[in-house]
Amino acid sequence: MKPPMLKADGGNWFSWKARMELQLGRRGHVGHLRSTQTVPPDPALAPGFDYDTVQADPSLLAQYRTDERLFLHWQNENNAVLLHIVSGLPDSLTTKALRLKLANKLWKWLVDEYEKKGDAYAQSVRRTFDDKRCTATGDVRAHIDDMEEIRARYDAAASEPMLDSEYYRAIVDSGASRHMSSLGSRFVTLRPIPPHPIIAAEGAVFHATMEGD
């Protein structure tokens, strides 16, 4: 499964993090992201290790092979997780990421590096959304399309997506109880109606010409 790509500015950090956790969790590797995981020791690096001595003693050799299998299994999984994460990072992070060698250390570094950066980016996008206005003579359809695009950017960057109620409250403040969209493809059914004036929050007026479900 192709890993998601993290933007260098952290613009999609929270969605990237969630998707990466889902992908690794599906493979049973999510434990490698946790700093509490125990790393099995490499038996060949044990103090005083001498392979000739171990090989001469059947019980020592059996224990060595058991420990070696545990270590190699962990090492293979750790490397697989490392490769998957690094494959989803921008080039500017790759060298530092590979130096960390342990998947849980890489994950902790990314969380420390991007958690605040991703939140700051999301807040910046949200301010853009909240401040955007359509003038009385502006193209309302284009304005709504822009708001949809900004909302999508916010949802990709934020830890929690924007609520529909927040979105529609920003678009329309006419007392209407129905959802509105400039995208006909989002409706299951559509039927024409006489033009109905809608007053946007900033005072602009546009006309609904169709309704549906």
pLDDT (0 to 100) of residue 184: 65
Q: 3-class DSSP state for residue 191?
A: strand
CA–CA gap between residue 17 and residue 114 (Å, rounded): 10
pLDDT (0 to 100) of residue 127: 85
Say if residues 205 and 199 touch (Cβ distance below 8 Å).
yes
CA–CA gap between residue 34 and residue 24 (Å, rounded): 12
Q: 3-class DSSP state for residue 194?
A: strand
pLDDT digits (tens, 9 = 90+) for 107-159: 999 988 887 777 777 788 888 888 887 776 777 778 888 888 888 878 877 77
What are the φ and ψ backbone dihedral angles of 8, each rounded to 5 degrees? -60, -30
Residue carrying the six token digits 């299994």: 73
pTM of the predicted model as reported, rounded to 2 decimal places:
0.59
What residue segments make up the domains of the chain, in order of their start? 12-116
Lookup: tokens for 203: 């005072």
pLDDT digits (tens, 9 = 90+) for 17-70: 889 999 999 888 888 888 667 888 999 998 888 988 988 999 999 999 999 999
